[in-house]
Amino acid sequence: MDRINFRTQIISGHLQPPTTDILLHVTPCLSYTPPELTEPQPTFNTKSLRKLLDGQSADIIDYIFNLMIQSPLFSPKNKGGRVFITPDYNQSMEQQREMTMRRIGYLRDTGLFNGWFEKPAPDGDLWMFAMAETVGVFDHSLGIKLGVHFFLWGGALRFMGTKRHHDKWFKSTETFEVKGCFAMTGLGHGSNVRGIETITRYDASTSEFIINTPCESAQKYWIGGAANHATHTIVFSQLEINGVNDGMHAFIAQIRDENGNVCPNVRIADCGHKIGLNGADNGRIWFDNLRIPRENLLNSVADVSPDGKYLSAIKDPDQGIIVKC
């Protein structure tokens, strides 16, 4: 073939539509092959090993995997007669966040979270941890997003709150009508929770607390769920009454309305792309004289009376108290 013919052939090759076998498809990475297809059978009984490892959680784990493989949201793929699921980490941060929320919506609609706060210990706790582990095996973002909502937001309500909080928030938390987050960490104080700079003062004339971010290092940072979806948060803050600092307390604050708009007196920024966990929306929060009802103080060990008297079961500020669950 002469030189011109050769070049013409190359150029025309570029102009041809690609054949399907060389098209690049964006698909979830699923190169895993079940070992029984390529390896000899193990010499031990795999069912017994699984019983040993998963114990009484095996049924729960199977139940939840079974829910997941039934939905296209989990990209089920049949390999060697077994169904595998995986998230698509090629998706953008925004798509991964959206998918996490849609997966939660699907699991909620199956009734998986019904009665979350009513499950008696210790079986209830085992159930919750098995659930967290199973969704986390699929995708840590899904595990973290559910963990923040149920274990951090829900756990704070449960253990730091009292009946008035349980009656008001448990049901709407189970249904995700309320999407909870947990604003403890501040930019200037992660492990040093006692040094948190957020300040909450009490206004006896309106029976309200007023939450403030007094400086940049007090901004809440890394808060899971804050960037996109959370409607409410637990705020860890210093409590100050009549100029006296009564120490660290936790409060409930609404940060978005039912349409997802950020509430007045609240500012939120996105922590953005991370090296992992991009399906979880971490954000930063500032409070600018946000007023909340007196009842939003989580009051299992300390309370403020309507006229502004501070009452606490903890006498020594250096000591905590064991809360009976």
Ligand X SMILES: Cc1cc2nc3c(=O)[nH]c(=O)nc-3n(C[C@H](O)[C@H](O)[C@H](O)COP(=O)(O)OP(=O)(O)OC[C@H]3O[C@@H](n4cnc5c(N)ncnc54)[C@H](O)[C@@H]3O)c2cc1C
Sorted by sequence, the CB contacts under 8 Å of residue 82 that are 6+ apart come out as 34
Sheet holding 220-224, edge to edge: 220-224, 282-287, 266-270
Helix (H) or strand (E) holding 14: helix 3-15
Sorted by sequence, the CB contacts under 8 Å of residue 165 that are 6+ apart come out as 157, 252, 298
Dihedral sign computed on CA atoms, order 198, 204, 205, 208: positive
Q: Compute the least distance from the CB of residue 24 to ligand X, in Å.
A: 31
Rounded distance between C-alpha atoms, residue 8 and residue 14, angstroms = 10
Question: Is position 173 an interface residue for ligand X (rule: CB under 6 A)?
Answer: no
Nearest to 103 by CA among 132, 130, 73: 73
Binding-residue total with ligand X (CB under 6 A)? 12
Residue 191 or 259: the one with the smaller Cβ distance to ligand X is 191
- The residue written with tokens 């029984």 in the block is 36
The SS3 assignment for 50 reads: helix
Q: Compute the least distance from the CB of residue 139 to ligand X, in Å.
A: 14
Nearest to 212 by CA among 194, 242, 190, 238: 238
Dihedral sign computed on CA atoms, order 114, 134, 85, 154: positive
Residue nearest to ligand X (CB): 190
Among 99, 107, 184, 292, the residue binding ligand X under the rule CB under 6 A is 184
Residue 64 or 250: the one with the smaller Cβ distance to ligand X is 250
Q: Compute the least distance from the CB of residue 193 to ligand X, in Å.
A: 8
Residue 110 or 185: the one with the smaller Cβ distance to ligand X is 185
Residue 38 or 192: the one with the smaller Cβ distance to ligand X is 192
Question: Is position 191 an interface residue for ligand X (rule: CB under 6 A)?
Answer: yes
Give the pairing of strands 266-270 and 282-287. Answer: antiparallel
Question: Is position 283 an interface residue for ligand X (rule: CB under 6 A)?
Answer: no
Residue 100 or 294: the one with the smaller Cβ distance to ligand X is 100
Rounded distance between C-alpha atoms, residue 230 and residue 153, angstroms = 10
Q: Compute the least distance from the CB of residue 7 to ligand X, in Å.
A: 54
- Of the candidate spans 97-105, 116-124, 184-192, 254-262, the one that interacts with ligand X by CB under 6 A turns out to be 184-192
Q: Compute the least distance from the CB of residue 184 to ligand X, in Å.
A: 3
Among 100, 200, 237, 282, the residue binding ligand X under the rule CB under 6 A is 282
Question: Is position 275 an interface residue for ligand X (rule: CB under 6 A)?
Answer: no
Rounded distance between C-alpha atoms, residue 309 and residue 235, angstroms = 21
Reduced to 3 DSSP states, what percent helix, strand and coil does the chain have, rounded to the nearest 5?
Answer: 40, 20, 40
Question: Is position 222 an interface residue for ligand X (rule: CB under 6 A)?
Answer: yes
Among 130, 255, 277, 290, the residue binding ligand X under the rule CB under 6 A is 277
Provide φ and ψ at 318, rounded to 5°. -85, -5
Among 80, 111, 190, 272, the residue binding ligand X under the rule CB under 6 A is 190
Taking CB under 6 A as the rule, which mask of x and - marks residues 231-260 in contact with ligand X? ------------------------------
Residue 85 or 198: the one with the smaller Cβ distance to ligand X is 198
Q: Compute the least distance from the CB of residue 210 to ligand X, in Å.
A: 21
Among 64, 146, 148, 178, the residue binding ligand X under the rule CB under 6 A is 148
List contacts with ligand X (CB under 6 A): 148, 182-185, 190-191, 222-224, 277, 282
